[in-house]
Amino acid sequence: MNYKELAELVYPDLPHTVDDYEAMYPPRNLPEGAKVTRLGPSPTGFIHLGNLYGAFADERLAHQSGGTFFLRIEDTDDKRYVPNAVETIITSLAFFDIRFDEGVTEHGDIGVYGDYTQSHRGEIYRTFAKEMIARGKAYPCFLTEDEIQAIREEQEAAKLGPGIYAGYSPYRDWDKDPAVEEIVINKLKAGEDFVVRLRSEGKPNAVGDEIRRNKVVDAIRGTLDVPENFQDVVMIKTTGIPTYHFAHVVDDHLMRTTHVIRGEEWLPSLPIHVEMFQDLGWELPVYCHTAQLMKIGEDGNKRKLSKRKDPELSLDYYRSMGYHPAAVREYLLTILNSNYEEWRLANPDADINDFPFSAEKMSNSGALFDLNKLNDVSKDTLLRIPAAEIADFLAKWSAEFAPEYAYAFRDMDLLTQILDLGRNDAKPRKDLVYARQIMDFIGYFFDEAFRIEDDYPAEAAADRAAILQAYLDSYDHADDQETWFGKIREIAVANSYAAKPKDYKKNPDSYKGHVGHVSTVIRIALMGRAQSPDVWTIQQIMGEDKVRERISKAI
């Protein structure tokens, strides 16, 4: 029996040949230099910041070069399947404005390089596995779990590298032993379970100069010096489903991916992928192995973000807290490209998509994620978004995640005015960070959320009622800001408070306090807080009735 006959025996009834597939997936007709990228999430139900980080790089590299970005669902790990996970992936990414040109969508596949769900592509993988067998580059292996365990123990005892490689699977060299050949034929004819393994040509357990190496282009890390693989890794599992390794190679070749952006946890498998690409005579994509997302842990040391410890790893966190997607995008770019912040300073009003993103400027060692930094970036980003748009965003967010704030959306014009408070000054206020924080921050405008949070200042607490009564008596909603403050000064003086803080500081014994203490009493009665944007402006937004009502209540 030759290799071809074995291949025929392993997979007798496949409707297409490798040439058919090459014709069905022709090279893409794209302009010179256009990049084709893909996101290949597994539908585990957990979509995280790392996915978004990679997706963003994919999206920028493709769209900036006039290329194509597609979504492929990598569901070859059947144990991890979670219902609705694909919808979650699509809607979460869409929320952050990650737009695919082709691939899986909520309404089926778009594009001619599909099917874009790996579990639907079994026949394709088997066809290429058959081709590998026919070229002597792969073989069916019938080792049982117990046999593999025994091999592992033997290797451990001999201090050899673990795994199935030359010398360990008796089925690998079937062509050198007629007895094994007969066993293989009989097992296949009897329909016994098997996996298809790569028949690696690498040198097992080589050391030092004996290790052969390959040069592989990584756009983030520069040219990598990759040791050759020697493991006979599984390509097709007993279920007929491919492993990640083989699916990656077949799909990214057929779908004509030019740039594979994936986490650095895949670097150790790169030798396997290189060997498979070479065996099939295919060109390698340009790899972009991204750095792990890290944070400064409780002990002050850098550590990986963890699903268990860090809620901020999940994309759901940003949606439920109500971070504006533009803020998250903006922040991610600051960790994705080291020159982004400088660019933003020079181009404060530019569209984020005008930034020349490059893989070369991506970090290759632990990208540091910091929620405080995100909050700072968010403050600046929200300043660039018109208040009416923020109001709409908050309304949508509340409807989905926080119906308890529904009261704030009865009057959208009022809400818009509230959100715009102090944003148009020469030194604009940066009070708005994310929806949950914003709703708390502006809560005092709404009776549903208003409460006295801060203590009245000690200097004026005893005169509270007198101050507020005088304020109420003199209040004229039509006063301009200067007249209004003049009246507060009069109230201060009439009650033995200094008209200016500096007078009080000079002669503290001559006064009970100063005008600032008096206005703080009014501020707390109106807003419940000692700190807030400008009181006069707030009163204008609140309207006369509410101002009078709040002051009367506080007396």
Site residues for ligand GLU per CB under 6 A: 40-42, 74, 248, 262
Min CB(245)–ligand GLU separation in Å: 10
Nearer to ligand GLU, 38 or 197 (CB): 38
Cα torsion angle, 514, 520, 522, 523, sign = positive
Specify the DSSP class assigned to residue 124.
H
CA distances from 530 to 70, 125, 300, 417, 425 (A): 52, 67, 34, 21, 21
Nearer to ligand GLU, 260 or 542 (CB): 260
Min CB(219)–ligand GLU separation in Å: 14
Nearer to ligand GLU, 74 or 330 (CB): 74
Nearer to ligand GLU, 42 or 243 (CB): 42
Task: Count the helices and strands in the chain (H runs, E runs).
Answer: 22, 16
Q: Are 170 and 180 in contact (CB under 8 A)?
A: yes
Min CB(234)–ligand GLU separation in Å: 16
3-state SS, residue 67:
coil
Tell whether omega for the bond before 218 is within 30 degrees of 0, i.e. cis.
no
Nearer to ligand GLU, 42 or 200 (CB): 42
Nearer to ligand GLU, 40 or 516 (CB): 40
Q: b vs e for 247-280, b when ≥16 Cβ sit within 10 Å of the residue's Cβ?
A: bbbbbbbbbbbbbbbbebebeebbbbbbbbbebb
Question: Phi and psi of 314, rounded to 5°?
Answer: -85, 140
3-state SS, residue 352:
helix
User: How, if at all, do strands 102-105 and 108-110 pair?
Assistant: antiparallel
Nearer to ligand GLU, 41 or 242 (CB): 41
Specify the DSSP class assigned to residue 26.
P
3-state SS, residue 177:
coil
Rounded to whole angstroms, the Cα distance separating 275 from 232 reads 11
Min CB(257)–ligand GLU separation in Å: 9
- Nearest alpha-carbon partner for 521 in 446, 468, 444: 468
Rounded to whole angstroms, the Cα distance separating 555 from 551 reads 6
Min CB(270)–ligand GLU separation in Å: 11
Nearer to ligand GLU, 40 or 528 (CB): 40
N-term to C-term CA, the chain = 100
Min CB(242)–ligand GLU separation in Å: 12
Min CB(40)–ligand GLU separation in Å: 4
Rounded to whole angstroms, the Cα distance separating 34 from 28 reads 10
Min CB(85)–ligand GLU separation in Å: 12
Nearer to ligand GLU, 234 or 449 (CB): 234
Min CB(350)–ligand GLU separation in Å: 30
Min CB(296)–ligand GLU separation in Å: 25
DSSP 208-244: GGGS-EEEEEETTTEEEEEEPP-B--EEE-TTSPBPH
Q: What is the largest CA-CA distance in the chain?
A: 113
Min CB(161)–ligand GLU separation in Å: 24
Nearer to ligand GLU, 237 or 487 (CB): 237
State the virtual CA torsion across 166, 171, 176, 179 in degrees, nearest 10: 150
Specify the DSSP class assigned to residue 62.
H
Residues 6+ apart with CB under 8 A from 210: 203
Nearer to ligand GLU, 74 or 232 (CB): 74
